Amino acid sequence: MPCLDRALTEVRASLTWTIEEVASDAEAPEGWSNPETRTHVLLAPRHPGSRLALLRQLVHAALCEHMPRLYASSTVWGVSLGGQVVTRKHYLRATREWYAAARLAELCPDEVDAALANASAAARERLATIRPFVLDRLNLGPDERGRLADGLLLAQVRRRLDPAADTADSVTGAVAAAYGQVDPEAPDMPGFLTVVNGLCAATGRRPFTPVPRKGYWMVRESDSAP
């Protein structure tokens, strides 16, 4: 049985929470988990797409079952503008990707390495270019989203393929360094907080403060007041 087929079967079978699958017109699968109700929601494309992307969502679900509930939480207090809420949720998702990527590599290393090599080749010119970066504190702009994605890619390439891989873009380099300071194969909440606040420092965002007992994240944004 090919690695991806085997891994999909094994990870799905390992899940103990209820899985609700919803057909979606999206190109890629999406999912989220609720520790309070012990449920997973998986938006599955009507037309089969990347099995690696589907496995990534199942791995996210498995991590949520084994980590403290704050790991899965995207509830953010302390910001009042919709754009800031969306931005902060994106940072939490970006941090979870670091851990999911490591688990994927454990399950199917050859497939992951091939995907990384292809993505790295496609991003080579962009990573070699010095680009201006201006943070929009009220919204998640395309430049900020792109730096987070490129930094994650660079951190994975350094970990899996080429420790000397680099970028001419200072923000992307700082994002990659924020990921790289924590071992993703040993997920815990102190490490999660280190990564997510490292990402914030790299782009100029204010840090998160965890509120474990209530299950949410606190952020003090100076620009959040009406």
Q: Give per-residue burial for 46-69: e unless 16+ CB within 10 Å, then b.
A: eeeeebbebbbbbbbbbbbbebee
Would residue 66 count as lying in a domain? no
The CA distances from residue 84 to 87, 129, 135, 196, 224, in Å, are 5, 28, 12, 15, 8
Reading the block at residue 8, the tokens are 């999909």
Would residue 61 count as lying in a domain? no
Q: How many domains, in total, are found in the chain?
A: 1
**SS3 call for 217:** strand
- Sign of the Cα torsion 55, 59, 60, 65 reads positive
Would residue 138 count as lying in a domain? yes
Would residue 38 count as lying in a domain? no
Distance CA 112, CA 59 (A): 14
Would residue 176 count as lying in a domain? yes
Would residue 145 count as lying in a domain? yes
Instruction: Please state the pTM of the whole predicted model.
Output: 0.94
Would residue 168 count as lying in a domain? yes
The parent domain of residue 136 ranges over 82-208
Name the pairing type of β-strands 30-34 and 39-45.
antiparallel
Residue with the two structure tokens 């899985």:
19
The CA distances from residue 147 to 8, 57, 151, 162, in Å, are 30, 22, 6, 19
Query: For every one of its 226 residues, what pLDDT tens digit does the chain have, with 9 covering 90 and above?
Result: 589 999 999 999 999 999 998 888 888 899 999 999 999 999 988 776 688 999 999 999 999 999 999 999 999 999 988 999 999 999 999 999 999 999 999 999 999 999 999 999 999 999 999 999 999 999 999 999 999 999 999 999 999 999 999 999 999 999 999 999 999 999 999 999 999 999 999 999 999 999 999 999 999 876 544 3
Which phi and psi (to 5°) does residue 106 adopt? -65, -40
Residue with the two structure tokens 């999911």:
100
Of 1, 2, 3, the closest CA to residue 109 belongs to 3
Would residue 23 count as lying in a domain? no
